Amino acid sequence: MLQLCLIGIGTGNPKHLTLEAVEAIRAQDLILIPHKGAGKDDLAGLRQAICAEVLTGVAHPPKIVEFDLPVRDPATADYRQRVDNWHDAIAEVWQATLAAHLPEGGQAGFLVWGDPSLYDSTMRIAERLKTRMEIQMRVIPGITSIQALTAAHGVPLNHIGAPVQITTGRRLRDTGWPMGCDTLVIMLDGECSFQSIAAPERVMIHWSAYAGMANEINIAGRLSEVQEEILATRARARAEHGWIMDIYLLDRLG
């Protein structure tokens, strides 16, 4: 039997690991680390660094194997179909890698950025894997980029008794500000969709890039006043590192 452990590791800061995550990493026979392509090797390197720190002094540490993550096919016009095809391709790579390194079964771990439940597809891919091979799945929660964002800025996520909506840049651009909610968390936004917001002088933004990491960048203020600074800072950071992950909190002011 193959036991698959999806371990939330937070946002790149080894201090964000829970005791449960540390225990789980040390208990694996195999740790799989994805390579996400040119310009994103930092992410694999951070996972390797976390393993090195956690496994120091462990008598029988797990084997660590890196694999190339398939890329989405841009030729598929439908977004959902493109994602489904991509997840199928990743499941095939997982199956081949696990079969090669744990042919008799055992415990295999994936280090999941942030938390496996939040805008991450690792659990969905694992469900696909269940149709291909016999596995048991365990999930270890991790600190999310939302927690890192609010901690960096020293602000609460919600107003007293008020709702918060977590959504994507694509949704913000396509459908606008959702009804009935004055506080939004925007994730997966490569297009800086806050530029589409009407009346930016009535919106407060707390923006973080590389939240929780050593190179974290934070900017906050009225959207009308800091929008250009965020755009310029984001462009510089992406050029310097070759990749960027950012997140922001929007509050509509009364």
Confidence (pLDDT) at 181: 96
Confidence (pLDDT) at 70: 87
The ranges of the chain with pLDDT < 50 are none
| Best CA proximity match to 248, nearest among 186, 191, 204 | 186
Which tens digits make up the pLDDT trace of 163-186? 999 999 999 999 999 999 999 999
Q: What is this structure's pTM? A: 0.90
Confidence (pLDDT) at 1: 84
Confidence (pLDDT) at 71: 82
Confidence (pLDDT) at 78: 82
Instruction: Please report, as a single letter, which amino acid is at residue 173.
Output: R
Confidence (pLDDT) at 80: 83
